[in-house]
Structure formats: C-alpha cells, structure tokens
Amino acid sequence: MSEAVSALALAARTGQAGEEPAYDLIELFFFAYRDFVSDPDRILAEYGFGRAHHRILHFVARRPGMTIAELLDILKITKQSLNRVLKELIDKGYVEQRPGQSDRRQRLLWPTNQGRELALRMARLQTRRIARALAGDDGEEAIRRFLIGMIDPVERAKVRNRLSGAKLGA
Amino acid sequence: MSEAVSALALAARTGQAGEEPAYDLIELFFFAYRDFVSDPDRILAEYGFGRAHHRILHFVARRPGMTIAELLDILKITKQSLNRVLKELIDKGYVEQRPGQSDRRQRLLWPTNQGRELALRMARLQTRRIARALAGDDGEEAIRRFLIGMIDPVERAKVRNRLSGAKLGA
DNA sequence: GGGATATGTCAACAAACCTGACGTATTCGA
DNA sequence: TCGAATACGTCAGGTTTGTTGACATATCCC
C-alpha cells in the first residue's frame, strides 16, 4: 500500500516529465468521456435534441439567471452557435429569458419546470454512472483533484467559483 | 485521513444512489475534457487536421496493423465517416494501408514515420497536462479505476485488452 | 450625447457525424 | 465448388454543431 508516487507524478514533480507518454490515461479518458456523453444522448434523441442542447440546458438549470456572456465563456463557442440552439430550447419551452434587474441589456437565462426536469433526468443518469465508477472506492478526492488539475490554469479559478457558487446565483 | 467513503460511493454501495446528482464531478469532467482536447487542437490546426484526424491517428499509431473494423468499434462512428478522414491521412502520408496476411480482405492500418511523429507530439502534450494534474498526488490508481468504471460494462473488457495489448499487435 | 457593452441576427461556410444503397474482393462452410 | 457471409469502399444526400464577418438594437456609463 501507500506505494510512494507513480513514475508520472514523480516526473512531474522533478520537472523531467515526458519520457514515456501516459497512453493508458489518455485512452481511458477518451473511452470514459465517450461513454459518459452517450447516456444523455439517448434521452435527448426522444426530444429531438443534441449534445449542444444538453450542455446549454445543464448550465442554465444549474445556474439560474446566468447571462449569455457567462454561458459563452463556459462553453467556449460563438454566440451565433449558441443562439441557434438556445432559440430551440426557448421555443420548445425549456428555457426562458428575463431582462436583468440592474442591467436591462442582459437577457438572463432561466430554466422552466420542464427544463429543470429534463436536466435533472440526464444528471441522474450521469450520476448513476459516476456512482458506479466510484463504488467501493475511497479515492473520490483524488479524482476531484485530478480533474481540476486537467483544466487550464487560467480557467481553474473560474471553474472553482462556478462549482461552489452554483445555484446561489438565483 | 482515511475518512471513510464519500456519500456518493456509499450510495452506490448500498444501492440507493441518486438522491443528489453529482453536479461537481459531472461539470469537472466536462471542463477537464474540454481543455484536454484543446491541446492537440492547436497542433492539428497547423496541419489542416481536426479532432477526428487525431483520434484515428492516435489509435493507428498505438496499435499498428489494426483492422478497419476494430477502429470502427473503438471510435463508435460509421465507416463512411471514418473513411473520409482516414483518406486524408493516407493521402497526406500519415497512415498506410497493407493487405492482411491471413485474411486478404482486410486492409490493415499502419502509421508512417511522419504519422508516428505527429501522434507522439500530441501524446506528449496531453501527457504533460496529465502529469501536471497528477503532480504531488498519490491517487493515480484511484483515477485509473474511476475512468475504467466510467466505461460501459460491455466495453470495459475490450478496453482492458486494448490497453494491455497495445503495440504488441505489431 | 457619444462610445462602450450585451445581445441578436443574417449569410455563408466547414467539420464531422448520420442513413441508405450498392459494389467488389475474399473467405468459409455445406 | 458454389453460394452466403464478411471486410471494406463508395456514391448520394442530409443533420448537427461549430466557424467568420458584418451589421442592428437597446442600454449603460462617462
């Protein structure tokens, strides 16, 4: 047990990383993500939605009252790209727009009940997969640290704020 | 230390998963993957390639002599979709096709030197990110278990075989 | 009042996926 | 040995989701 640190983590520490690429982790990450997004895909198909709809709905449901600008910064896509998909979610009654209180140029995004339910349904499915992956394991904190570490340093602070501040923006 | 098991892992154990969705892990996974694939994106742009090229080249470089069928099973896309991108990689000299020895219907895929180098360049970049994420952490095995657990059960055995058998198929 | 900001929109295009149908070469089993 | 199954390629057309560039509108702030 407690078998010191892996060669990779050690290499990172000493600064001499990159002898042998971490092929297994690279591929595991690919396979894990491939299947992770396949869960919601099945539900979305029932509604005639795609992955883009899921991403938007998820963040709107999690952070009610978000601005367009913040959503763009999270998704890293253009506003034209966002708008096409967002419009469908609004037309079909999953998301609503309300003018900002302090700044009336903003059109804050809110989930409808329908939207909240759909988002929750997909989150539950993904949670089931995560729970299964964690079953009987006590390394959850290590995983959290790892995932945070995978994020661009510049983005990391933003993500932390978003995670802790979620749902409080309401 | 050794602070028992998380609520989520516990819920998975006891079978009563899914009270509260694991929003933080869901989102961390999204952000981590978003940035993970952005590394190779920059390199690919130099060559006029996209993410699809990367995935194909990666697996061909890792498992020289792979069949089309196996690649399709890994990527979970249609052969028409694969072929368009694969053709470009062949035309530009990053991948070669050779008839199978035992079964001459097969057109086995091999990386060229050029292809191997490009694949390695991107793998190194992703490894650097992974090494940074693991720096000073001893939870690498927990992460590996987690990622494997995220994969569809049916696929898991295949992935295990692929990981351990990689590069031996040559 | 005028510039910056937040957002929307029109148009054209590209990457990367899809379905469906059909063709060819090769293998394998009755 | 012949016919079905398999491995792969390809033609055609469609969808989703991203892009760039340009321009319009409403609001805020100095």
Q: Assign residue B104 the CATH number of its domain.
A: 1.10.10.10
Residue A22 has pLDDT above 90, yes or no: yes
B71 part of a folded domain: yes
Region of residue B107 (left: phi > 0; alpha: psi -120 to 50; beta: else) = beta
- Torsion angle defined by CA atoms of residues B45, A12, B137 and A34, in that order, rounded to the nearest 10 degrees: 20
Here the tokens at position A65 are 């009252």
Q: What are phi and psi of B94, to 5 degrees?
A: -105, -20
Q: Which of residues 124-153 of B touch A (CB under 8 A)?
A: 124, 126-152
> β-strand B95-99 against A107-111: which pairing, if any?
unpaired
Task: Specify if B106 maps to a domain.
Answer: yes
Q: Is the pLDDT of residue A12 over 70?
A: no
B160-166: list long-range contacts, CB under 8 Å, 24+ apart.
B162/A27, B162/B63, B162/B74, B163/A23, B163/A24, B163/A27, B163/A28, B165/B63, B166/A23, B166/B62, B166/B63
Number of helices (H) and strands (E), helices first, in chain A?
Answer: 9, 2
Nearest 5°: CA angle at A153, between A150 and A155? 95
Mean per-residue pLDDT for A42-60? 96
In a domain, B146, yes or no: no
pLDDT of residue A106: 97
Q: What is the mean pLDDT of the segment spanning A5-20?
A: 63
> With an 8 Å Cβ cutoff, are A9 and B128 in contact?
no
Structure tokens at A157: 């602070």
The pLDDT value given to residue A10: 61
On whether residue A57 sits in a domain, the answer given is yes
- Cβ atoms of A71 and A53 within 8 Å: the answer is no
Give me the sign of the Cα torsion angle A155, A158, A163, A167: negative
Per-residue confidence (pLDDT) for residue B24, from 0 to 100:
94
User: What would the mean pLDDT of A40-61 be, rounded to a whole number?
Assistant: 96
Give residue B156's pLDDT. Answer: 93
Give residue A167's pLDDT: 63
Residues with CB under 7 A from strand D: A 48-53, 55, 75-78, 80-81, 84-85, 102-105; B 67-69, 79-80, 83, 86-87, 97, 100, 103, 105-108
Dist. CA B24–CA B132, nearest whole Å: 21
Q: Quick one: tokens of B107?
A: 């057109």
Q: For the beta carbon of residue A84, count every other beta carbon within 10 angstroms.
A: 10
Residues B71-109 as b or e (16 or more Cβ within 10 Å = b): beebbeeeeeebeebbebbbeeebbbeeeeeeeeebebb
Regions of chain B with pLDDT less than 50: 1-2, 17-18, 169-170
d(CA B95, CA B149): 32
Contact A9 B134 (CB under 8 A): yes
Q: Residue B95's domain spans which residues?
A: 21-135
Q: Which helix (H) or strand (E) holds B147?
A: helix B140-150
Please tell me the predicted confidence (pLDDT) of residue A2.
47
Which strand C bases fall within 7 angstroms of a protein CB? 5-12, 15-21, 25-28
Q: What is the CA B167 to C1' D8 distance in angstroms?
A: 24
**Higher local confidence (pLDDT), A71 or B170:** A71
Number of folded domains in chain A? 1
Domain membership flag for residue A15: no
What is the CA A73 to C1' C20 distance in angstroms?
Answer: 39
- For residue A157, tell me if it sits in a domain: yes
In which band, very low, low, confident or very high, does the pLDDT at A53 lie, cut at 50, 70 and 90? very high
pLDDT surpasses 50 at A84: yes
> How far off is chain A from B94, nearest CA to CA, in Å?
19
Assess B73–A contact: CB distance below 8 Å, yes or no: no
Q: How does residue A138 score in pLDDT terms, banded at 50, 70 and 90?
A: confident
Question: CB–CB of A27 and B155 under 8 A?
Answer: no
Q: Is A26 inside any structural domain? A: no
**Residue A111: predicted pLDDT:** 98
Q: What is the predicted pLDDT for the residue at B57?
A: 98
Query: Between the ranges A1-5, A16-20, A116-120, where is the mean pLDDT highest?
Result: A116-120
Mean pLDDT of A107-135: 96
Of B68 and A136, the one with more pLDDT: B68
Identify whether A30 is part of a domain.
Answer: no
